[in-house]
Amino acid sequence: MSLTKDALQHLEQSHKTGTEVAEGHALILGSEFNLADLEKYQDHRRRFRGQFDTESLTAFTAYVGERSHEGVPVFIDRERMSARCYLDIGEKSLAGHCEHVATLALPKTPEFKAFSRANGSTFDQDDIVELLEDWGHLMEFTNSEGEILEYRKVLHAFRKVSIDDLTSIDSEKQEHSSQVGVMSKVTVKHADRLPTVITWRFSPYDGLEERDFTMRVATITKGGPNFRLRAMALDATDKEVAREFAEKIEGELDSCECLLGTFSP
């Protein structure tokens, strides 16, 4: 293989100016003092680096637990249901490079996604029946009297529900005037068979315990019948779930320093 004159001059210049730095791990080359990393030519890396990402709480605690040492901080973001550990963070006096990272992003379960989609939504008859057919096995139904309703009867009631228009004419005659008023009242037939509260029971995130999520059922007669579902006390339930998430990590990684919050190296 032949080299051009320019290439030979460049090699010669690089050889003459080459200086080892960083304990022989890098080389300064050329008149412009470019830094060349020699790690890829060595048998091993200078230090362990890598990013472990998972959606499994069990996998995260296992990975961190096997590779961490006493007091390594784990940063828990309860709002985002996530956690991160820089396994090579080091200490204040001997700071590490934070290049070995384990990250957990806990996903919602399909059941929680279905509940979240239903929350605040309005369903017509076909849609509410379809929702109950898909997720009714998770639900308990309560009427306005606080009585538990059977799933099959509730499903039948939603299928058969209809609206009655009750119209009456009120006529009032006075000596010098007369007034005729028409009053229209719209009611839902067999409304007593429909639930006012639906309680779902499921695990909101993979690896967490099952718990109850309640919804209020409102009937909309205009253009209906339609049904609007609204979650009850969801903020309080979310805080309980986030607390359980943090406690799970703290319980599994008791040798680590578990901190609530995020950290950017």
Nearest-Å Rg of the Cα atoms of the chain is 34
Angle between helices 57-67 and 234-252 (to 10 degrees): 30
DSSP letters for 166-226? EEEEEEEE-SS-EEEEEEEEEEEETGGGS-SEEEEEE-SBTTS--EEEEEEEEEE-TTS-E
Environment class of 108 (CB within 10 Å of its CB; exposed 0-12, middle 13-18, buried 19+): middle
Residue 32 sits at φ, ψ, to 5 deg, of: -95, 5
pLDDT (tens, 9 = 90+) of the chain, 265 residues, equals: 454 656 545 555 555 555 554 455 555 555 555 655 555 656 566 666 789 999 999 999 999 999 888 889 999 999 999 999 999 898 877 777 788 999 999 999 999 999 999 999 999 999 999 999 999 999 999 998 889 999 999 999 998 887 554 444 444 444 434 454 544 444 555 556 889 999 999 999 999 999 999 999 998 877 768 899 999 999 999 999 999 999 999 999 999 999 999 999 8
Three-state secondary structure call for residue 247: helix
